Structure 1
Amino acid sequence: MAVPADSTGWLRFGEFRTWYRVTGTPDGDLPPLVVVHGGPGSTHDYLLNMTSLAKDGRAVVHYDQLGNGGSTRLPERGADFWTPELFLDELANLLESLGVSDRYVLFGQSWGGMLVARHAADRPTGLRGLIIANAPASYRLWRSEMEVLRAALPPGVDEALRAHEAAGTTDSAEYFEAMRVFYGRHVCRLDPWPRDYLASFMETADNPTVYSAMNGPSEFHVIGTLKDWSVEDRLPEISVPTLVLSGRHDEATPVTVRPFRDLIPDARWEIFENSSHVPHLEEPTRFHAVVSDFLTGLEK
């Protein structure tokens, strides 16, 4: 790697900067694990416990995607600026700048899972393995399944949500409280929410430029530029071993996740029975074991 072990810093990305963190001591025998967070418009914080995988010479790389966290913030940029292609270019720049593009493994969570799948479909020569966690294969499927999950909320909750969505008052305290019911069922079932998850949640709430433009006001009301984006048609082109992860209570329902298992030639799917959207926080022991086993298998 071109950067020292256990380091943080910034990488030049055109006229902008991408913040990164490397945990562990790089070893030429083990490809680093590059962690791509969700959102879009979140930060790396809620995935920090994946540093537990930095052992036996495997480095773990986190970064904040452009627009959030420690990376360049651009609140003045409009929706036309925030595209999947921008973030694919940023990821490619990160890999090249860190000197790992010749040998690496990708982990993508939620939106990050779609991003790494699209990256892998171009068959980069250095990619050794892929982990897609809690991600939909398309936002069309996601939006359809959100209707199913919303209909199963306690009486009155979805009605309250839709009233605020129709009125354009999704920034109100009432909408937030009703939204928390959905999040407590399908995003993070831990109570209280872990500190790392809260850090990313509050970053998105305080700096919503990217999330609002690409997603919308909430996980289940997707009206941004991604509302019709899909990677389904590119999945058969992925040529590396792929681990697909989801939670039994996940907002990324089986309908949205199944195309990864069905269309990627070498993919297996693990479901975490006691988790929703963040099994790395909800079932950390099993999560670590499953991911470690997959990573070890790549080296055999």
Structure 2
Amino acid sequence: MTEAIPLTTPRALADAGRQGTVGFGEYETWYRITGELRRDRAPLVTLHGGPGCTHDYLLAIADLAEQTGRAVIHYDQLGNGRSTHLPEKGTDFWTVELFLAELDNLLAALGIQGDYHLLGQSWGGMLAAEHAVRRPTGLRSLTIADSPASMELWVAEANRLRDLLPPEVQAVLLAHEADETYDHPDYQKAMQVFYDRHVCRVLPYPPEVAATFAALDADPTVYRTMNGPTEFHVVGTLRSWSIIDRLDRIAVPTQLVSGAYDEATPACVQPFADAIPDVRRHVFPESSHLPHVEEREAFMTLLTGFLATVDERVAG
């Protein structure tokens, strides 16, 4: 059984200074801004994971607004959280291109498309990389947190980590996957063993992390369509996704982060390090998939320094 380790000191989350929605075709994208948008300091836009999660579990990153005066923007991607839900939509609707268009629309609606930093976590990092390879003129830097460069690598590494679970846990997972009984309590319990090792080692989960999991349970449309029923049983439309052969097109400074116990293992992250021209890499030694939660202070220190260095380079 995973030991509950308080890897970071609990601390309150910053309040939003502004929140609302922007139209995206006939739908709406919900956003929140912490801090003031300033001409002299490019904001940081965060992209949450899933696909199908919500912004909540990334709220600790709003620390930057309080600590540095840099505005931090969170939003719920379409189909999730406070944005428009579309449970009736099928596989042809939920695409990478849809979420890229939504991001472009949000940047333009907020008037920041000419100057911004981007941080994507897990699936959000995949989406951020897809955005960056198009070389948008306003993108100042990219932070890819806990993300794979291809789903083939992700699945291979997830299966390797899964093979290290207790045999009785593996047996339960296999039995219910064969029957496709993913909502069975025994399957959920077995799945949690993996999650407590490789997704979040802070137990019990902090409220903002629990909020995202609750929202995902309430409407799993996007997650199950694009990913599948769990982090390690990927049968959705993203199962063949890869950006490896396009990574050399990323033209901005890039920070890679992950955790030593991360389901996004070194093998998943390595292609980013190999192919992005201007890249640096950091592994948080006590974290799994959520180092911004598990080692919050250290994560914010690293991110603050990276963004400041990029801003100084642009100003110089």
> How does the TM-score come out when normalised to structure 2?
0.93
Matched, 1:79 2:109: no
Q: How does 1:16-165 map to 2 (within 5 A)?
A: 16-55=27-66, 56-165=68-177
Matched, 1:262 2:274: yes
Whole-Å separation in 2 of the counterparts to 1:6 and 1:193: 26
Maintained 8 Å contact 1:26/1:57? no
Shift of 1:155: 2.1
Shift of 1:80: 1.3
Per-residue CA deviation, residues 189-230 of structure 1 (Å, 9 max, x unaligned), is 111111100000111111100000000000000000000111
Structure 1 equivalent of residue 207 of structure 2? 195
Shift of 1:176: 0.3
Runs of 4+ aligned residues of structure 1 deviating over 3 Å after TM superposition are: none
Whole-Å separation in 2 of the counterparts to 1:154 and 1:32: 44
Calculate the aligned-residue CA RMSD, in Å. Answer: 0.8
AA matched with 1:155: P
Q: Identity over the aligned pairs, expressed in percent?
A: 56
Whole-Å separation in 2 of the counterparts to 1:274 and 1:255: 18
Structure 1 equivalent of residue 4 of structure 2? none
Maintained 8 Å contact 1:38/1:110? yes
Whole-Å separation in 2 of the counterparts to 1:130 and 1:225: 25
Q: 1:11 aligns with which of 13, 17, 22?
A: 22
Per-residue CA deviation, residues 147-174 of structure 1 (Å, 9 max, x unaligned), is 1001001121111101100011111000
AA matched with 1:44: H
Question: What residue ranges of structure 1 are gaps of 5+ in the alignment?
Answer: none
Structure 2 equivalent of residue 271 of structure 1? 283
Maintained 8 Å contact 1:246/1:277? yes
Per-residue CA deviation, residues 213-255 of structure 1 (Å, 9 max, x unaligned), is 0000000000000001111111100000000000000000100
Whole-Å separation in 2 of the counterparts to 1:119 and 1:221: 26
SS in 2 for 1:63: strand
Question: What residue ranges of structure 2 are gaps of 5+ in the alignment?
Answer: 1-15
SS in 2 for 1:163: helix
Q: 1:170 aligns with which of 172, 182, 192?
A: 182
Whole-Å separation in 1 of the counterparts to 2:199 and 2:170: 16
Whole-Å separation in 2 of the counterparts to 1:296 and 1:164: 48
Shift of 1:57: 3.4
